[in-house]
Structure 1
Amino acid sequence: MTRAGTKLTRRISRTSVVLALAISIALAGCGDSSSPSTQLPIGPQRPVSHVVAPGETLYHIATEYGVSVGRLMTANGLSDPRELRVGQVLTIPGTYRAVSIGTASSGVHRYTGERASRQFLWPVQQGVVSSGFGIRNGAMHSGVDIAAPVGTPVLAADSGVVIFSGTLHGYGNTVIIRHDDEYATVYGHNSRNLVSEGARVTRGQEIGEIGRSGRTTGANLHFEVRRDNIAENPLAYLPEPATSDGISFAAAGGS
C-alpha cells in the first residue's frame, strides 16, 4: 500500500470509530435523568480533601462530589455556608453505596460469563462499577461506568495510539485509543485529557482524570471496549478483581 493509501486507511478507521460513537450517543447517551430512584449518589469511597478555589460555593462542591451540603458542613465543623474561604481545605465524606464483589442483590454484578482471550488493564486503580453494559432504562449503554473522585487518574487499558482526544456530545472530554487486532477503548467524562491525538501510549499510562463532563449524573469514567467498531461488554475484557483490589460493584445505580 502506498503512503497516501496508508494515511487514508488510518483516517477512515479513526473517523468510523468517532462516527459510531456519535450515533450511539444520539440514540442513548450515557447519563440518564429519567429515573432518579435508580441513580447512585457519587462521591469518594473514603474521605478525601478538596481545596476551595475562587468562585466555589459549598453547594457547588457538594454537588461535584455527590454529598449533601449538610454532611459537608458537619464534616468540616461549619455552621454557616458563608464561612467558606479560598484556599480552605475541606474534608469530603465518602458516599458510595458499594458492596463486596459477589454480594450485590441488584444493580451491577460481577461478570460471570466466559472471559475474552484478550485482557485489558482496569482503567482506574480504585473505583466502584456503578453502571453495567447493556440495556439501561430502555436504551443501550455501550460501556461501564466506574465512579471515583474527581481527579482520579484514568489509565490506558493497553498500549496503542490516541485516535481522538477532545469533546464528544454526551461523553464530554473523551480519549479514544486504537490498539492492535482492531480493538479500540473509549474513556469519557474526563475532567481533562492528558494526551493528544496521534500520541503513542503505553499500558497503564495516565491519559486523563476522572470528571463530570458531558451527560452524567456524577463523577465517573465511562469506559468502552470496541472491536471492529462494535461495543462489547468491557467486563469480559477485564480481569476479575481480587477482594484486596480497589474495584468493587455498586448495589444499585447508574451514572
Structure 2
Amino acid sequence: MAMDTPWTMKNTAAFVFLLVALSLSTVDGRKQESGAWIPSLENSAPELQVLRDQIRTNLRSSYREQRLALPLRIYLYRLKENENFFTVVTRTGQDPDTIASLNGLANPASVGPGDVLLIPNARGVFRRNRSLEEVAALKENLQKRPASSANTDQLLEGFRFYPGRRFEPEERFYFRGQGFAHPLPGAVLSSGYGNRRDPINNRKSFHGGIDLAAKVGTPVLASAPGKVIHAGPAGGYGNLIILEHRYEYTTYYGHLSKIHVKKGDSVNQGQKIGEVGKTGRVTGPHLHFEIRKDGKHTSPSKFFHP
C-alpha cells in the first residue's frame, strides 16, 4: 500500500501495535492523560492546546525520524450544536483520514452534535485487528471511564497504526460518498432512513435503510463492486443479497422476487443482481436498501440522492 507521506516504513516497522504508556506526558508544562476529554474547541481551552502541540510534535518527528516523539494517546470530544466532522478536523489540526479510520466512520456526515469522536495525538491510519464487537465494547468502556490508562491501552490494542499514512485514493473516494451508485434508478423513495412508525404495527422503530418502491421484477443493480456473502432468505428481509465491498463497507438488498447471483460471486457496479419483489415483512413491492460501515448502519442518502 503506497504512502502519501515523504517517508516509508521498513521491514518490521511496517506497522506499530498501539501500546499506550501509562505515564503522563507533558507539553509546555501542561500534563494530560490519555483518554481525557476535550471540553471545548475554543482556542482558549488548554486541553485543545495540548492536543495540537502533541500532533505537531509527532508530525515533525514522523517526517524527520520516522518515529513518534511522544507516546500515542487518545482524547475524546463530544460534538456541540452546529459542529460537524470538519469542525473537529479544522480546530484540532488532525487529519480527516486519521479520525475517520479510528472511529470507523462511513462518511463525514456520520457524526453530528452529541456524538463522541476519539482523537489521537498523531497522524496516520488505524486498521482494526480485533472483531468489530470487541472494539465497540472497548470504545464504550473508554467513554465511561476515560481517565483509566488501562482502558485506553485495551482499546488501542484492537488496532494497528500506520504513522504518517493516509487513505488510498479509492478509500477516500468511498469516504466522501462517491463510491456508491443508485441500486434502483428511477424508483420512488417510499420510506427514509432513521426513526419512523412501522407500517405494519404502527410502532416507532429504527429503519436501518431506505425503501424504494417499484414494480415486481424491476432490475436491482449492485451499488458498488464487491463479493456476494449472502444470497437467499433472511427472515423479515425476505430474499436478501448482501454484498461485501472494500474498506469494511457492505450493502443489503431486501424483499427480492428473484436473485441472480450466488454466494461467492464477484459483481461489478451496476450489474443486475436481482429483481424487486415483496418477500418477507412488507406491505407492498419495494427494495429495502442498506449501506453499512464496519457493521454499523449509515444513511444511504449520504452517498447518493434517493
Normalising by structure 2, what TM-score?
0.41
More contact order relative to length (CA 8 Å, sep ≥ 6): 1
Q: Which has the higher helix share?
A: 2
TM-score (norm 1): 0.48
